Structure 1
Amino acid sequence: MLNRQQQFGRKSERLAAEYLKLKGYRIIETNYRCPVGEIDIIAREKGTLVFVEVKARRSSRFGSPKGAVTPAKQRKISMAALDYLKRSGQDDARARFDVVAIDTEMGRPDIEVVKNAFELAYG
């Protein structure tokens, strides 16, 4: 059974996936998990493999959704992306990292896609 925060997160990830589809992304996988981390959404857009982190906020009390993708989080996502590329035999694929920021403070979701939100982060 998921708690309230987990339910909000799952709902936000589904909303992000639907929004990305409308924007021309083809969803390949959701909630990719490996020993080094997790990727919320893996998609393809115009020949580029896209690793998507979804961040949603109900209020601005803890800052913006975009600001929640810290350098430490970027490293974990990067390591998981490298794992995915290796396991799927796509080591030479063109790839990027996007962030979908969802703000629900005003009742209706305000969704922003930040393309190339960060570079591959090591260490």
Structure 2
Amino acid sequence: MHAKDRTGWDGEQLAADFLEAKGHRVVERRWRTPTGELDLVTLDEGTLVGVEVKTRRGIGYGHPLEAVNGKKLRRLHLLVREYALTHSLRMPHRVDAVGIVMPTRGAEAVSIEHLVGVV
């Protein structure tokens, strides 16, 4: 596995653990369709949540959440609606984003930022 892929997998696991600690229930990981992929699908107090996880080893190329732009958000909103339709779920839904900075070495701590209801 490439280092970038490993970073992505590790970040998604950190995000899942973080969200579960906040009360989310993870129901799906890496849900794919021809439209795209939802990194995580969770339930948060009766709301279906499509979660985009962005992980970086540093901020040399900017904060991970800067990569969640308008085009990406439009696709994520389509995907969470598609997930609800595919699974016959009639409930409120939203898109969240989790940005993780996971330094490769040193005493720097992992940083996790969670944006709720990104539009």
Counterpart Cα distance in 2 of 1:10 and 1:69 = 18
CA contact (8 A) 2:27 2:43 kept: yes
CA contact (8 A) 1:65 1:103 kept: yes
Secondary structure (helix, strand or coil) at the match of 1:56 reads strand
| 1:66-105 matches, cutoff 5 A | 66-90=65-89, 92-105=90-103
Counterpart Cα distance in 2 of 1:76 and 1:39 = 10
TM-score by length of 1: 0.87
TM-score by length of 2: 0.90
Counterpart Cα distance in 2 of 1:14 and 1:51 = 15
Give the residue type in structure 2 aligned to 1:13. E
**Root mean square deviation, CA, Å:** 1.3
Percent same amino acid at aligned positions? Answer: 33
Aligned residue pair count: 116
| 1:32-71 matches, cutoff 5 A | 32-71=31-70
Structure 1 unpaired stretches of 5+? 119-123
Structure 2 unpaired stretches of 5+? none
Q: Which residue of 2 aligns with 1:111?
A: 112
Counterpart Cα distance in 2 of 1:111 and 1:60 = 13
CA contact (8 A) 1:28 1:42 kept: yes
Between 1:6-15 and 1:73-82, the stretch displaced more is: 73-82
CA contact (8 A) 2:64 2:99 kept: yes
Q: Which residue of 2 aligns with 1:121?
A: none
Counterpart Cα distance in 2 of 1:31 and 1:41 = 6
CA contact (8 A) 1:38 1:76 kept: no
Tell me the CA shift for residue 107 of structure 1.
3.1
Counterpart Cα distance in 1 of 2:20 and 2:8 = 18
